Amino acid sequence: MAITFPASPADGATYTNPTTGVQYIYNATDGVWKTNVWPTNTNYLQLSGGTLTGDLALGTNDLTAQDITSTTLTTTGAITPGGNIVMASGNGIDFSANANDAGMTSELLDDYEEGTWTPNVQSGGWSGISGLNSSRYVKIGAQVFVQCFFNGFTGSGNATLMVLNGLPFSAISNGYSAGSVDVGKGSKKGMYIRTESGSNRIGFYFPSESSASRVAPQGNFFFDDGYIILHLSYFTDS
């Protein structure tokens, strides 16, 4: 509900919202309407944008309000809301007032999300996973943290590379990130997992322990009743 104030008001003119009874006083020196927030009329909430969506009701220390439509809200004290702060899409918390590294590309924290994800078999012969006990993710800005614990696999493995899919967000191109994995059966010392470039897939690897490159195990390296516990963090463009 937008409030339309009288045009060309005199200094000290008042306007009462006919719906809510909230009264506003015009200050000609500042050129703004001010809401009386204390019975003594000595303190005011300043409205400089011209439009207020809804009314403000102030108690002794609390602000209980509808939405405020404003370009900038400046305060020298703490803001303690009783509900959620809702950001418009593409907006967030701007840290540009702080010092930054020379490689900085953004100081806007514009996303937070948490939930569950469903891992599955991309290759390796197995038809799927079994006994999904836990699979959580948290996304903070462009960084994603994932965790997963399942009991094993269904079907049978073959000689193709062991790869899972189903990450909640695709990794950035060439943004390889390695993570830790605990394999209940069939593992080998030094095994780790890694995101695949520009995809939602996870590959399994272990060091060659020689001059050769790292080794990617095949599906038949694993067992149907060998649990998998993994943890990984990576970056996404999503």
Final residue before a domain boundary, out of 69, 86, 103:
86
Contacts of 50 (CB under 8 A, 6+ apart): 5
Q: Is the pTM of this model over 0.75?
A: no
Residue percentage of the chain with pLDDT more than 90: 50
Domain range spanning residue 206?
A: 114-235
pLDDT tens string 108-129: 999 999 999 999 999 999 999 9
Domain presence at residue 52: yes
Residue 143 and residue 210 share a domain: yes
Domain match, 214 and 136 both: yes
CA distances (Å), origin 219, targets 100, 124, 177, 195, 223: 45, 4, 21, 17, 9
What pLDDT shows up at residue 117?
98
Answer with the one of 37, 70, 86 that is the final residue of a domain: 86
146 in any annotated domain: yes
In this structure, the answer to whether residues 41 and 127 fall within a common structural domain is no
Euclidean distance between CA atoms 212 and 176, whole angstroms: 20
Domain assignment present for 94: no
pLDDT in tens, 76-112: 777 777 888 888 888 898 898 888 899 999 999 999 9
Distance separating alpha carbons of residues 36 and 30, to the nearest angstrom: 15
pLDDT, position 168: 98
Q: Is residue 102 part of a domain?
A: no
Domain count within the chain: 2
Residues 143 and 206 in one domain: yes
DSSP 219: G
- Tell me if 99 is assigned to some domain: no
